[in-house]
Copies of this chain bind each other. A is one copy, B any other.
Amino acid sequence: MPAYRPPTGEMFALLEEVLEAGPTLAALSGAGDDPLPLLRDVLEEAGRFTAGQLAPLNRSGDEEGCRLENGVVRVPAGFDAAYAAFVAGGWGGLSQAPEWGGQGLPRAAQILLDEMIASANFSFGLFPGLTRGAVEAIERHASEELKALYLPKLVSGEWCGAMALTEAHAGTDLGLLRTRAEPQPDGSLRVTGGKIFITAGDHELAENIVHLVLARLPDAPPGVRGISLVLVPKYLPDAEGRPGARNAMSVGALERKMGIHASPTCVMNYDGATGWLVGAPHRGLAAMFTMMNAERLFVGIQGLGIAEAAYQGAVDYARERRQGRAAGQSGEGPQPILVHPDVKRMLLTIRAFTGAGRALALWVALRMEEAARHPDPGARAVAEGHVALLTPVIKAAFTDLGFEAAVLGQQVLGGHGYVREWGMEQLVRDARIAQIYEGTNGVQAMDLAGRKLAMEDGALPARFFALVRSEIEAGAAIPGAEHYTAPLAAALKRLEAATARLARRAARDPAETGAAAADYLRLFALVALGWMWVRMALRAMRKGAEATPRHQAWLDVARFFLARILPQSVALDLALSEGAAPLLALAEEAY
């Protein structure tokens, strides 16, 4: 089983040097004068916790899985103690509001913690991950009474959250859902219906589980405009927040899945369960989207975390396993397979993602901070626009690249990669879910190509492209920087052309958006990652004689990305230029 080494040095270098997070955070109210030393301590402590307490349970959790025993969900051995340590360490409330007992640390710290958890134990991360989404939805949309009763327990992690959206016949198309919520004289709702695919819908880690359930009120209009969000706790709390009577809800079954075996995926039955409306009647989808956007970024980070774990496992093997010799070299005995260029290709392909992916995620985290805390409403709106634009990119591209990274890491191990005890095949199985849940990556691509590009008359992508261009222009002052900036400039030009072309075509035929979406998102992600590689390379070049091996590595991996990965942008642009027609030609009966 691969040992996990939290890359806290790299994380901190990105924060400090590449993203200049110190001044950004210091300028935002509440972040303190020099927030970096505290962040560094938190990162180191998070590294110790995830590597020491969560990573050792990853393989055993996969083997043991979850069980449903007489209606009670049992998680694998050790998860209860690890979760208790998580709560005791205050990790649940790391970036949550101090008002509710959180530590109020920046989202950048949260994202790095999430990455480490995903690397160490992907399944474990779903318990607090869903809880945090629930906190965001309640914080923004629930009544003061519900907030006061539920948020302190959810923020501390004593209680957990769950999202109950999907029904057997209503997945991507939530407008079809049938779960009913009937108003009661006391102001509560009685919720009746069945939900599937409810991650962490039940377990014994927390003393209560708070479900956010999408349901229809009796007077609801049909479709997505008639959906309300209802808070349904497993145990009904008394006024002091002590869990009381068991609510009328139960687990019908646990899904048997390809991976994330340590995370219970529940079929939930609500049989007249008591709940309370969150937000306005019939406006539940908007409230749920608050939660889903938070979850989508979280899921993208899971892709990043699994890629880092795959990289570490593959590098360890490539250093230890001796087979053959480097081409053209003679000598005694076999060499570590790391000498073979094709092994380097696989490892560098992972690094080309993790290095810039982490930087991009941190950049988004800083924009989230601005969106929440910047004193200027205009700056808040711009930051929010960047987050909105990049959320589907990070969810879909990071999970696709995370899965590809897990597959490459497994490939480095050859036959051993296919054997369970080595732990690499689990990464592939676990990574696969992230491309599917929280809106499939096809749905994310439609969100980007359909909704986000069109927002504010196209201002969101235009503002983002301007940032990339300014980075390219900043390189003009550095001799030799054009080796890095020129390929990115060409790719940006292709992306801008593809964006304008898609807008023109989609106005004529709405099918053009769907036909372009997946390839367009990939093209967008390549430019966004290229932007971060150029940023890292320029920072490294500016170091001059003070450059460390880390800076040299940024330059070397940037070069690999720009030379061997970014050319995919040419192919994507060419494919996109052909439009929808070649994709729609085959008659549906001929499939």
A501 interface residue (CB < 8 Å to B):
no
Nearest CB of chain B from residue A167's CB, rounded to whole Å: 11
Whether the pair A411, B429 counts as a contact (CB closer than 8 A) is no
Whether the pair B419, A556 counts as a contact (CB closer than 8 A) is no
Q: A257-B419, A258-B428 are in contact. Are A442 and B343 (CB under 8 A)?
A: yes
* Copies of this protein, total: 2
Residues from chain B with Cβ under 8 Å of A425 in the complex: 257-258, 432
Q: A172-B323, A442-B343, A549-B590 are in contact. Are A559 and B571 (CB under 8 A)?
A: no
A residues 571-589 touching B (CB-CB < 8 Å): 571-572, 574-575, 578, 580, 582-589
Task: Give complex CA distance A171, B435 in Å.
Answer: 33
Task: Give complex CA distance A428, B552 in Å.
Answer: 38
A54 interface residue (CB < 8 Å to B):
no
A26 interface residue (CB < 8 Å to B):
no
Task: Give complex CA distance A589, B338 in Å.
Answer: 10
A residues 547-569 touching B (CB-CB < 8 Å): 549, 552-553, 555-557, 559-560, 562-565, 567-569
Task: Give complex CA distance A440, B322 in Å.
Answer: 16
Nearest CB of chain B from residue A223's CB, rounded to whole Å: 11
Residues from chain B with Cβ under 8 Å of A555 in the complex: 585
Task: Give complex CA distance A403, B410 in Å.
Answer: 14
Nearest CB of chain B from residue A56's CB, rounded to whole Å: 19
A88 interface residue (CB < 8 Å to B):
no
Whether the pair A436, B411 counts as a contact (CB closer than 8 A) is yes
A289 interface residue (CB < 8 Å to B):
no
Residues from chain B with Cβ under 8 Å of A513 in the complex: 327
From A328, A555, A585, residue with most partner B Cβ within 10 Å: A585
A445 interface residue (CB < 8 Å to B):
yes
Residues from chain B with Cβ under 8 Å of A587 in the complex: 549, 552-553, 556
A331 interface residue (CB < 8 Å to B):
no
A residues 312-368 touching B (CB-CB < 8 Å): 315, 318-319, 322-324, 326-328, 334, 338-348
A474 interface residue (CB < 8 Å to B):
no
Whether the pair A511, B326 counts as a contact (CB closer than 8 A) is yes
Residues from chain B with Cβ under 8 Å of A437 in the complex: 415, 418
Whether the pair B411, A440 counts as a contact (CB closer than 8 A) is yes
A485 interface residue (CB < 8 Å to B):
no
Residue of B nearest to A509 (CB): B328
Residues from chain B with Cβ under 8 Å of A197 in the complex: 415
Which candidate, A32-40, A70-78, A274-282, A514-522, is the interface stretch facing chain B? A514-522
Whether the pair A436, B415 counts as a contact (CB closer than 8 A) is yes
A residues 156-171 touching B (CB-CB < 8 Å): 166, 169-171
Q: Looking at the complex, which one of B342, B418, B429, B591 makes contact with A517 (CB distance below 8 Å)?
A: B342
Whether the pair A511, B419 counts as a contact (CB closer than 8 A) is no
Q: Looking at the complex, which one of B176, B256, B324, B553 makes contact with A421 (CB distance below 8 Å)?
A: B256
Whether the pair B446, A342 counts as a contact (CB closer than 8 A) is yes
A28 interface residue (CB < 8 Å to B):
no
A255 interface residue (CB < 8 Å to B):
yes
A420 interface residue (CB < 8 Å to B):
yes
A119 interface residue (CB < 8 Å to B):
no
Residues from chain B with Cβ under 8 Å of A315 in the complex: 591
Nearest CB of chain B from residue A307's CB, rounded to whole Å: 15
Q: Looking at the complex, which one of B344, B429, B445, B565 makes contact with A258 (CB distance below 8 Å)?
A: B429
| Contacts from A to B (Cβ < 8 Å) | 166, 169-173, 176, 196-197, 255-259, 315, 318-319, 322-324, 326-328, 334, 338-348, 403, 407, 410-411, 414-415, 417-421, 425, 428-429, 432-433, 435-437, 440-442, 445-446, 509-511, 513-515, 517-519, 549, 552-553, 555-557, 559-560, 562-565, 567-572, 574-575, 578, 580, 582-591
Q: A327-B510, A342-B446 are in contact. List 17 more A-B contacts (CB 8 A).
A: A166-B415, A169-B322, A173-B323, A255-B419, A257-B420, A258-B425, A328-B509, A338-B591, A342-B518, A345-B583, A347-B591, A418-B437, A549-B587, A560-B586, A567-B575, A570-B571, A570-B574
Task: Enumerate the 6 nearest inter-chain pairs by beta-carbon distance, A residue then B residue, closest first.
Answer: A341-B514, A327-B510, A571-B571, A173-B323, A563-B582, A328-B510
